[in-house]
Structure 1
Amino acid sequence: MTRRQLSRERVLAAAAEVADADGIAALTIRAVAGRLGSAPMAVYHHVANKDEILDGLVDTVFGEIDPPVPGRPWRPELARRCRSARTVLARHPWATPLLDSRRRPGPATLAHHDAVLGTLLCDGYDARAAGHAFALVDAFVYGFALQEAAIPFAGDALADSARRIVDGLAEGAHPHLARFAAERIGPDYDFGDEFDVGLDLVLDAVGTLRSPGGRAG
């Protein structure tokens, strides 16, 4: 069987597989080479070092997020973009802390940022307001992604864990926590459901930054 020829795209795809499976700490040139069935030196023909792999991975992640379309109403476009970002970051939980950490942004990263800013600038936001809005929505999306990835339980397991914690409290201790667990955390509770509620609140706040006379989103 003929071995597939290595390329930068294959190296980055293998690096993403390593990070998805074992976390970003496990990402090494040797691990990527092992995933590809190649010698480490062969990988160096396509990327100079691990830092270049990280640059490429961040660009790959931004390329997977559906960008908003400048010229369309800002609110539905940003909402769609934020929901897409949450889905992508759940698929790559290692990526969130890296997204704004690279000094050499790639073409997908630049195109994505340009689209977000363009959507705002074309629909009633000046440059200062667009910057505030961009920072706010990303703080929410990135923060939610980190929190969602950190929760160790879901569904019935989350409800059972909350019940055990509350049952272990001394009588009368932390009554608000006990009430919340009793009234809110049940078998059908999904922390992910909080995303759309929070996103609507954030977008309401973003709307207050628009210049007077801008059309409604």
Structure 2
Amino acid sequence: MTGPAKTPRRAPLNRDRVLRAAVALADEIGIDALSMRSLAERLGVVPMALYKHVANKEELLDGMVEVIVGEIAPPARGADWKDAIRQRILSARQALLSHRWASQVVESRRHATPVVLDYMDSLIGMFRAGGFSVDLTHHAMHALGSRMWGFTQELFPTPPPPADPEARAAMFDQLAARYPHIIEMATAGSRDGGSAPGGGCDDQFEFEFALDVLLDGFERLHRQGWDSTARRRPTGATA
């Protein structure tokens, strides 16, 4: 005679499991729909059980950012400073593209956790290992801005053009009369063999283009021995 079937033992709840479940749930339902209650339901616990591992929703979001930063590939061994930084940032971009809500959360954080600081410190260390002064490294990090996390903000949101070809052509004709330079640039892709007019930009290409422009500029300034004190000196002042 066999005994009653044993109920599968649930994995113990810990901070890492809570955070990874929150990331997975946000990937499914979106960050705005994520709540402590919905996360508790996903984990099969009461909401109060979560507060043993995260104090509140803000701490949960901080931890979710930590999980994503943990997905960024480690620094490449043996690479020069420019390749190492480029690879690290592009890995950060890949991590954020895997979690479309992540940039919104990164921008909303009010303080940096140790994991976030570790990542920033590694980038600074790559500049310093490349011979950059602390001064130039400081300004390079400011210039990178959110790009160090793999994303940038668009200047303005652009609605998609009408699907109907005739309506789309009429819309571009009307806009071209008032904004000729914007429309010239927007439609350049079709004339150059690229995307169709109004089809949008290649975000990855644009991101890498801007990143390379910045890195090339940093390299030029480093070779010139650039120092911000000369730039800050009032006009006409002598050293």
Q: 1:46 and 1:198 mapped to 2: Cα distance? A: 40
Contact 2:76 2:87 in 1 (8 A): no
- 1:27 alignment counterpart: 34
- 2:3 alignment counterpart: none
Q: 1:87 and 1:78 mapped to 2: Cα distance? A: 14
Q: 1:99 and 1:118 mapped to 2: Cα distance? A: 22
2:190 is aligned with 1:182? no
Contact 2:96 2:150 in 1 (8 A): no
The structure whose RCO (Cα within 8 Å, separation 6+) is larger is 1
Unaligned runs of 5+ in 1: none
Offset at residue 51 of structure 1 (A)? 2.0
- 2:231 alignment counterpart: none
**Aligned with residue 222 of structure 2, among 210, 214, 217:** 210
- 1:95-110 equivalences under 5 Å are 95-99=102-106, 101-103=109-111, 105-106=113-114, 108-110=115-117
Aligned-CA RMSD value? 3.3
Contact 2:128 2:137 in 1 (8 A): yes
Contact 2:25 2:39 in 1 (8 A): yes
Matched AA of 1:2: R
Contact 1:65 1:84 in 2 (8 A): yes
Q: 2:101 and 2:59 mapped to 1: Cα distance? A: 16
Percent of counterpart pairs with the same letter?
A: 34
**Aligned with residue 58 of structure 1, among 65, 69, 73:** 65
Larger radius of gyration: 2
2:146 is aligned with 1:167? no
2:126 is aligned with 1:119? yes
Matched AA of 1:167: A
- 1:129-168 equivalences under 5 Å are 129-140=136-147, 144-147=151-154, 160=163, 164-168=167-171
- 1:73 alignment counterpart: 80
Relative to the length of structure 2, the TM-score reads: 0.71
Relative to the length of structure 1, the TM-score reads: 0.78
Q: 2:213 and 2:31 mapped to 1: Cα distance? A: 32
- 1:193 alignment counterpart: 205
Contact 1:33 1:39 in 2 (8 A): yes
Offset at residue 212 of structure 1 (A)? 5.1
Matched AA of 1:109: V
Q: 2:12 and 2:181 mapped to 1: Cα distance? A: 60
Matched AA of 2:119: H
Unaligned runs of 5+ in 2: 1-7, 226-239
Q: 2:159 and 2:91 mapped to 1: Cα distance? A: 23
Offset at residue 136 of structure 1 (A)? 1.7
